[in-house]
Amino acid sequence: MVGGAAGAPARNDSAFVAVASRSYYPRLLNAGGHTDESTPGLLHAKTLCVDHQVCPIGSTNLDLRSFDLNFENNILLQDAQTTLAVRERQNSYIQQSHPVTLAYIQAWPWWLRIWNNLLATLSPVL
């Protein structure tokens, strides 16, 4: 079993990254994925809970910049109590978030969808 608080901050420390990220929402949702936008502020946590026992946490984004330029790292924790604590924290984030749905995206004005997609072309360098 894998559990995680997949999501993005509603407010981001980089407006360009936020816009480019949102361009991928339709693809994620159409593929059966789920995401939420965290509303209280910037949420930069990268956490995952696996089998109620294993929990990788860290700063690494899944992109070449993080792996090759920023030398970001994660740590793999294997402890049921720690994994439960992380999962409880993930749930608290989810409670403070709003789900991203196709209806939410379709309500965006046409120019915003174009702007999101235009900036997505820069995502490899953001």
Question: pTM for the complete prediction?
Answer: 0.72
**For residue 45, what are its two tokens?**
């946590």
- Written as tens digits, the pLDDT of the chain (126 aa) is 444 445 666 666 677 888 888 889 999 999 999 989 888 777 778 899 999 999 999 888 777 777 778 888 889 999 999 999 999 999 998 999 999 999 999 999 999 989 988 888 887 776
Q: CA 23 to CA 115: how far, in whole Å?
A: 9
Closest CA to 98 of 49, 43, 59, 31: 43
Which residues, other chains included, contact 122 with Cβ-Cβ below 8 Å and sequence gap of 6+? 16, 20
CATH number for the segment(s) 2-118: 3.30.870
Where are the chain's structural domains?
2-118
